A = this chain, B = another copy of it.
Amino acid sequence: MSHEKFLGCIEACQACAVACDHCANACLMEPNVQMLVECIRLDRACALICQTAVTFMASNSPLTTQVCELCARICEACAAECEKHAHHHEHCRQCAEACRRCAEACRNLSIAV
């Protein structure tokens, strides 16, 4: 009946959304921005689905588990792309880490519920 069971996953999604939006903007400022186009596109998609998942969890909405499952998939795709650039760009490294943590939290939630 409450959003408390979601608190850990909400925090992971919030942190991931901020890391992705920050990474997207930081990528845009890099001299090699053309190498980072796919990273920017995935960052935006990932930030948005994470925020959507937060709202579903905080509202204890119907179909929250399904939103979190999809969120996990998009986080994994974003992490895989960010990891390619992680040794060159600290924002990509941090973003990949936040995405992996968020994907795990979302997967655990789908199994537990």
Give residues in A with beta carbon < 8 Å to B: 1, 3, 10, 14, 17-18, 21-22, 24-25, 28-29, 33-34, 37, 40-42, 44-45, 47-49, 51-52, 54-56, 58-63, 66-67, 70, 73-74, 77
Cβ A67 vs Cβ B44 within 8 A: no
Cβ B54 vs Cβ A52 within 8 A: no
In-complex Cβ contact of A70 among B17, B54, B70 (8 A): B70
Cβ B41 vs Cβ A48 within 8 A: no
Which residues in B have their C-beta under 8 angstroms from that of A60? 22, 25
Cβ A49 vs Cβ B67 within 8 A: yes
Cβ B3 vs Cβ A18 within 8 A: yes
